[in-house]
Each structure stands twice: as structure tokens, then as C-alpha cells.
Structure 1
Amino acid sequence: MPYPTAAPAADRPSIPSHQELRSRLDSLARVHRVPGAQLAVHTGTHTLSVHTGTADALTNTPFTAETAVPLGSVTKAATAAAVLLLADDGDLDLDEPVVELLPELRGIPEVTVRHLLSHTAGLPTGPDSDSAAGTTVSRYLSAVCTARNTLFPPGTGFSYSNAGYVAAGRILSEVTGMTWQEAVAALVLEPLGIVPAFLGDAAPARPVASGHAFNTATGLVRPAHQNLAPVEAPAGALLASAEDLVALGRAVTGRSAVLPAAVADRMRRPEPAADPGALADSWGLG
């Protein structure tokens, strides 16, 4: 996928100063009653990073550049990148039947790794996190990834699926012999300079922001926690900062040696059957 050529210097927008970004972030946080926030901008040569407020509205712990926040489904990009790095090394084939790695999917033998990463396997999104909280990965996949539950033949449509990424995370474990957390940290996060942190960590290796709910009538703040079952970690358990997102984004757009050009291109290249409708213009692998 070619990049647009650089605009002439006279046509390029001016790069805001660190102080201008900080002032703007402070103002937006006050207007929207956000206790704390981060902002990182890559200028083309370096990253400007600012932060404001508190990472925990109850304890007033200050927000810092290192504070990690839940990324939700952005986690899927890191999971996909790790799987694609294995494929790039020849450890798996994107178009091989997943059942060869995951016997729980024996009822839908046409599903491939490519289908899982592009949400074209025909799998449903999966049960809600409360329902999935007490199950194992094997039981989850056996219950959700069945012919009866498929929405369309694999490779013929698009259906956003957390279940597909639970399966992709299991593939990482099967191929590497590591947990999903260990594999994505070793293959993607640490090479990018990102200190790994995940929902459910008993002792996070970095500061972590706490969620909150704000009652506009009383002005009271209450703690709020992201609801994600441990089995769903490959779909949404990553914690990271704004600076980390810049590092990940630069890798996916082919601007980091951590992801070889072929891997970054696969992530960006639209998959033919992946028509996400209102979600996006197109969808690649991750």
C-alpha cells in the first residue's frame, strides 16, 4: 500500500509546541470533566507527549506519560501482529485450517488463521464477559466455534468476533508454548519498547489508570472496572499509554523495524471478503 508523497513545506500544517498541546489537553479535560488523560503526537521526526490530571479519581494518583490505560479491542492489533510474525517466520500458514492447531474447531474445518484475523470466519462475537468468566479457553472454543453457531460460510462475509481472537490467542500459545501474554510481550510489545501490562495483573510492572463513573448531579466519583473475562484476553486485555500507541501505530504503518514490511503490509491490506459496513472503510488482518 503506497504512502502519499509528502506535502511541500509551505503546505504542511505547523507542528504545535509541547506547551500548546498541554494547554489544549488541560482545557479539554476541564470541559469534559475527565480526571486524567494523555496525548501523544508523532511529528514525523519525534513524539510529543503530554498528560494531565489524575490516573485514579479516588486517590488522586497523578497521570504520567508511563501510565497505562485499558486499550480494549486495540489489543487485537497486537495479537494479530504476533500471529503474523510467526507466519512470517514460517511457523504457521495463514491459509492452513485452524483445526490442525485447535481441535475444538473440528466442526468448522474450513476456518483458517486468515479468517480469524480478518473477522471473516463466520464466528459470532461470543458470549458476554460475565458468562465467559468461569470457563477455560478449550471449553469456550468448543461451545462458541461450532457449525451451528456460524453466521455464514468462512471467507464469505464479515462479522466482528471476539471469539475469533480468543482462538487466535490460543494459536499463539500452541505454536510458541507460551501464554498469550508472554507471546505478545516477547514478539511485539517488548521489541517496541512497551512495558507489558494486562487487565488482571496482580502486580503491574507500570502505573495503571483506574476507571471511574462520574455522577453529574452529585459530583461524586465511583470506581468502575472494565469487564473482561480472562479467556477473552487476546481480544481486549492490553494496557498501554498514548506513547505506546504511537509506537504500535508506526509499526503497523511500516515505520518500525519490529514489524517487517511484509507483515505491516498484510495488516493494512484489505481482505476481499471483509466488508465491515459502518465500522470502517475496509478491514485487514488485525
Structure 2
Amino acid sequence: MSRTTPAPSAEERSKIRRVLEDRLTALARAHQVPGAQLAVHYGGMTLAVETGVLDVDTGEPCTADAAVPIGSITKAYTATVVMLLVADGDVELDDRLGDHVPELRRAGPPCTVRQVLSHTAGLPSGPDSDQVASLTAARYLLDHCTDRTLVMPPGTDFSYSNAGFVAATA
């Protein structure tokens, strides 16, 4: 027998929306994110909120209709699959990335799987998506995930990295 959560009343939805907006705005500020969107499905309905701007140069606001590239959404799925491999004992979080990615065995950065998943591997953000389309995964990794491309020593700070998640899927 399945149990369903009753839909919240209009007043409850309004309260939940305010809490979500406040929390999203606080998190965006704390993490210096210029803009963000959040959607939560609860009680048979979806509440969506947004905060900040899409582009700091133009000041264009982040709205519900704003199109955001899907790429970063896939990072949660990639991390989930990697964690399933960890749970199965096939990968250890403190394994070096090159232990699992053949292209990075010789010239790869000295970072761990944990550092890649937490964006602390020191890897660059990566090229724009229009540049990526013309590269094989191996070429991408050799061009963007090497010792010479590090933006900081692994484990020393946060640096959002698309390149790291390309490596995690390899």
C-alpha cells in the first residue's frame, strides 16, 4: 500500500515558497553564486524559486523561465554512479584519479576521486561546451586534466570543474 502526502494548502505553499526563497538566496550569497534556481516536488506539487542574476555583467535576473545549460545537473547523477561503485568496493574515494582513468595514468593530476567529486581536485572549469563537442573524451582529458592544467594544488581549495566530471565518467 502506498502512502501519499496530502497537497499543502495555499497558505502552506506560500510559507514553503518563502522558506525556499530565503534559503536559496542565503546559500547563493554564502557560496558567491550569482544566480540559482531550485525546484522541490512535495505533496503532489512542484514549487520553483530563483534568486540572483544569470549574468553579473548584464545584471539579467534569474527567472523561472531562464534556460540554464543541463550539463551541471548531470554532475549529481555522475556522483551517484561513482558512489555506487564505491559502495560496491570497485572504487575508493581516496584512490588517485589516474588509477581508474587510463588516459590520466601518466600525465594526470595527483588528485583523488573524492577531490574530483567535491570540486577540490584543482582541475580547471573546462572549455565552453561548443569546444567540447569537437573533442573525444580522451583528447578532452589530455587537454584539460593534467598536471599542467591545475589551477591550484589538489585538496587546497574549491574550484568548480566540468573537467573533473568528464574524467569521472571516463
Q: TM-score range by the shorter chain?
A: 0.5 to 0.7
What residue is the counterpart of 1:149 in the other structure? 149
What residue is the counterpart of 1:125 in the other structure? 125
Q: Assess if the C-alpha contact under 8 Å between 1:122 and 1:157 holds in 2.
A: yes
Q: Assess if the C-alpha contact under 8 Å between 1:104 and 1:145 holds in 2.
A: no
Q: Assess if the C-alpha contact under 8 Å between 1:97 and 1:112 holds in 2.
A: yes
Query: After superposition, what is the alpha-carbon deviation per residue over 1:19-72, rounded to whole angstroms, capped at 9, x for unaligned?
Result: x89xxxxxxxxxxxxxxxxx75314xxx3259xxxxxxxxxxxxxxxxxx9644
TM-score by length of 2: 0.61
Q: Shift in Å at residue 107 of structure 1? A: 2.2
Query: Do the aligned partners of residues 109 and 130 (structure 1) sit closer, same or farther apart at CA in structure 2, a change above 3 Å counting?
Result: closer
What residue is the counterpart of 2:77 in the other structure? 78
Q: Shift in Å at residue 15 of structure 1? A: 2.3
Runs of at least 5 residues in structure 1 that lack an aligned partner in the other structure: 1-13, 22-38, 51-68, 171-286
Q: Distance in 2 between matches of 1:80 and 1:161?
A: 13
What residue is the counterpart of 1:97 in the other structure? 96
What residue is the counterpart of 2:4 in the other structure? none
Query: After superposition, what is the alpha-carbon deviation per residue over 1:89-144, rounded to whole angstroms, capped at 9, x for unaligned?
Result: 11111111111111322324521111111111111011111222111001100111
Secondary structure class of the residue paired with 1:41:
strand
Query: After superposition, what is the alpha-carbon deviation per residue over 1:164-200, rounded to whole angstroms, capped at 9, x for unaligned?
Result: 0101111xxxxxxxxxxxxxxxxxxxxxxxxxxxxxx
Cα-Cα RMSD: 2.8
Q: Assess if the C-alpha contact under 8 Å between 2:109 and 2:150 holds in 1.
A: no
Larger Rg: 1
What residue is the counterpart of 1:8 in the other structure? none
Count, aligned residues: 119
Q: Assess if the C-alpha contact under 8 Å between 1:79 and 1:168 holds in 2.
A: yes
Moved beyond 4 Å, runs of 4+? none
Q: Distance in 2 between matches of 1:166 and 1:152?
A: 18
Q: Assess if the C-alpha contact under 8 Å between 1:124 and 1:163 holds in 2.
A: yes
Q: Distance in 2 between matches of 1:142 and 1:110?
A: 14
Structure number with higher relative contact order (C-alpha < 8 Å, ≥ 6 residues apart) = 1
Read off the aligned partner of 1:101 and give its amino acid letter: H
TM-score by length of 1: 0.37
Query: Do the aligned partners of residues 103 and 72 (structure 1) sit closer, same or farther apart at CA in structure 2, a change above 3 Å counting?
Result: closer
Q: Distance in 1 between matches of 2:153 and 2:116?
A: 13
- Map 1:180-219 onto structure 2 (within 5 A): none
Read off the aligned partner of 1:119 and give its amino acid letter: H
Query: Do the aligned partners of residues 133 and 95 (structure 1) sit closer, same or farther apart at CA in structure 2, a change above 3 Å counting?
Result: same
What residue is the counterpart of 1:11 in the other structure? none
Read off the aligned partner of 1:97 and give its amino acid letter: R
Runs of at least 5 residues in structure 2 that lack an aligned partner in the other structure: 1-6, 15-38, 48-67
